[in-house]
Amino acid sequence: MKEHEGTQLTLSQLQVHVQDIRKWEKDEDFLNQLDEFKKMPALYRLALNELQNKIDVIKTEWQIRDGFSPIEHIKSRIKEPKSILQKMARKGYELSFDNMEQYIHDIAGMRIVCAFVKDIYRLVDHLNTREDLRILEIKDYIAHPKPNGYQSLHLIVSIPLILLEGTRWVKVEIQLRTLAMDFWASMEHILYYKFDKQLPSHVAEELREAAQAADELDQRMLRLRNEILQLSEGAGTRIEEHKI
């Protein structure tokens, strides 16, 4: 059997691993933690599925009522185990499932892209009225952009899962952006890693200017939509008057 990265265990190393396994088998707390770690990806995936269903219902209701949905597209992901462990280490938390569940809020993530900023706040207001989820935290980087120009609205929500053991609330991070914000964030991510996380000053400045341009584009498109809606309403009124 091919060993990972071409390494092989020596007999002494193998004996150490066997001793560790025997010790862990006697450690009930470790076994409980191990069981939780095994269930973790499935729990967070179920939470994302539940949230996806709720958002799909909202989209459908808006489509029926208003004739269009302000939600353009949705993307979700589960954080890689390596990234979770690195974040735990960076934050100085002892490795345990309880700490992971309590302090790492973005293990499950969903990105919702809307057409306009107004639609983002409209969706947040609606989520805040629902009884089938809880909003735990809001970080508004639209009203208060990050120094590099990043704009988005982040929510930490808790989703109830009805399990055999009872109801369990699982955290999910939601990022809400406009199409322009999402394009900017994607390009910033590419450049960030292209330059090994150290952007030249002129590139960083260009990104900030691009973020301002994206914000101006959002505002301009919103004004155009409002003008079109007003013209449509005016045309509808004239048609009704003509019928009378």
Answer yes or no: are the C-beta atoms of 58 and 71 closer than 8 Å. Answer: yes
> d(Cα 61, Cα 82) in Å, to the nearest integer?
39
Strand order in the sheet with 108-114: 71-78, 108-114, 166-178, 153-163, 134-140
Q: Is 25 a catalytic residue?
A: no
From 50, 101, 173, 188, active-site residue: 173
Residue type, 58: I
The string over 3-38, giving b where at least 16 C-beta atoms fall within 10 Å of a residue's C-beta and e elsewhere, is: eeeeeeeeeeeeeeeeeeeeeeeeeeeeeebeeeee
- DSSP 3-state helix, strand, coil percentages of the chain (rounded to 5)? 60, 20, 20
Amino acid (one-letter) located at 160: P
Label residue 62 left, alpha or beta by phi (over 0 means left) and psi (-120 to 50 means alpha).
alpha
Amino acid at position 215, single letter: D
φ and ψ of 193, to 5 deg: -85, -25
The closest of 156, 62, 175 to 110, measured between CA atoms, is: 175
Return the SS3 of 10: coil
Residues taking part in catalysis: 173
